[in-house]
Structure 1
Amino acid sequence: MKWFEIILVVLTLGSGLVVLLDKLYLRKRRAEKASLLDSEEPAVVDYSRAFFPVLAVVLILRSFVAEPYKIPSSSMMPNLLIGDFILVNKFSYGFRLPITNTKIIPVSEPKRGDVVVFKPPHAPDQNWIKRVIGLPGDRIGFHGDTLSINGVPMVYEDRGEYVGKGRGAEMTGASLLSEQLPGRTHTILELLGRADPRGQGDWVVPEGQYFVMGDNRDNSEDSRFWQQTHFLPEENLRGKAFLIWLNCEGWFCKGSFEPSRIGTGIQ
Structure 2
Amino acid sequence: MTTARAEEPKLVEHTVRTTLGPMAVTEAGEGPVLVMLHGGGPGAGAVANYHQNLPALTRRFRVVLPDQPGFGGSYRPTEADLDARSITEITVDALLQTLDGLGVDRFHLLGNSLGGAAALATALAAPGRVEKLVLMAPGGGWLPFGPTPTEGQKAMFRYYNGEGPTLRKMRDFIGVMTAEPKRWADTAQARYEASLDESHIAFYHRYNAAFAKRHGMDPLWQRVHEIEAPTLLLWGRDDRTITLDGAQLMLRRIRDVQLHVFGGCGHWVQVERQAEFERLVTDFLKEH
Q: With the length of structure 2 as denominator, give the TM-score of the two structures.
A: 0.21
Structure (1/2) with the larger strand percentage: 1
Structure (1/2) with the larger helix percentage: 2
Which has the larger Rg?
1
